[in-house]
Amino acid sequence: MEQKSLTGKTAIVTGGNSGIGLEAAKAFADMGAQVVLAVRNEEKGQAARDEIRQQTGNAAIEVMPFNLADLNSIRAFAESFKETHDSLDVLVNNAGVMAPPLSQTNDGFELQFGSNHLGHFTLTGLLLPLLKKTPGSRVVTVSSLAHRGASIDFDNLDASNGYKAMRFYGQSKLANLLFAKELDRHLKAHNLETISLACHPGISATNLFKIGKRDAPRFLKTFTSKILQPPEMGALPTIYAATNPDLQGGEYIGPDGKGYRKGYPAIEKPDMAAENTVTMERLWDVSEELTGITYDFS
């Protein structure tokens, strides 16, 4: 991929301490950006910061505490960032959880919808004032192949009427895509320069692939490493979405290989459910209601 200069620019990567988030953060640092790793585990964040500094020679890597499953933590992060930065060029909504047992966020939302979607909806809304005043800024939201075949069950967002882990994961990743597209529509309707894009890593070997709280067995890791692409490749759609100058906003970027599982980044057509404007609008309204966040596009 062609190297682009991000010197003088600032990027936030949620979950930037591991997997595709770490690889994207490394790429941004290598291009000269000041990178903020928004992470739940500060110890792992500091280890990632040291690794990025060592590999890229870029010292402008910052670690900030951030819990996607806690609206108060997200608000504190946004306030702290706005106190110390007057611009934001790239926001990568990358962190997430995949198929845990039924559990809730600190605010009582089902964990996957609450973290993967509502957490990033909140963060983006709080950082919108900085994004709006930064020329050429971008929001990149990481979705998944799991959005295909998914739907938003507005009558069971809290899982009180039943829970299937992978179904709720697919719902949260479809919500990511619907949010990215609806955000871009709002930005364009208000003639703002900021653009919103979505991407997915294909099927990438990251630490999402765990069994409960334990790492997967070694034989399984060896097997998956042969059929899955490494995080460095999985991060390419994120990097492409964040830096490619030809993108206009609203695009969905994924690997160009068979089944969109592996390969190099290209514009991809999402599942039809991700194009439903009625669902987009309803999800947006519900998200504002649940989080108490209202976007100011003026």
- Reduce the DSSP state of residue 22 to 3 states and report it: helix
What's the half-sphere exposure (Cβ side, CA atoms, 13 Å) at 106? Answer: 9
Residue 71 structure tokens: 């609206």
Sole residue written with tokens 């973290």: 115
Q: Are 14 and 68 in contact (CB under 8 A)?
A: yes
DSSP characters for 211-267? ETTEEPPHHHHHHHHHHSB-HHHHTHHHHHHHH-TT--SS-EEEE-SGGGSSSSEEE
Task: Give residue 106's identity as a one-letter amino acid code.
Answer: N
Which candidate in 163, 169, 260, 295 is catalytic? Answer: 169
User: What is the rounded distance in angstroms from the CA atom of residue 78 to the CA atom of residue 125?
Assistant: 10
C-alpha R_g of the chain: 18
264 flagged as catalytic = no
Q: At CA 244, angle to CA 235 and CA 66, rounded to 5?
A: 50
**Phi, psi of 90, rounded to the nearest 5 degrees:** -140, 125
Active site residues: 169
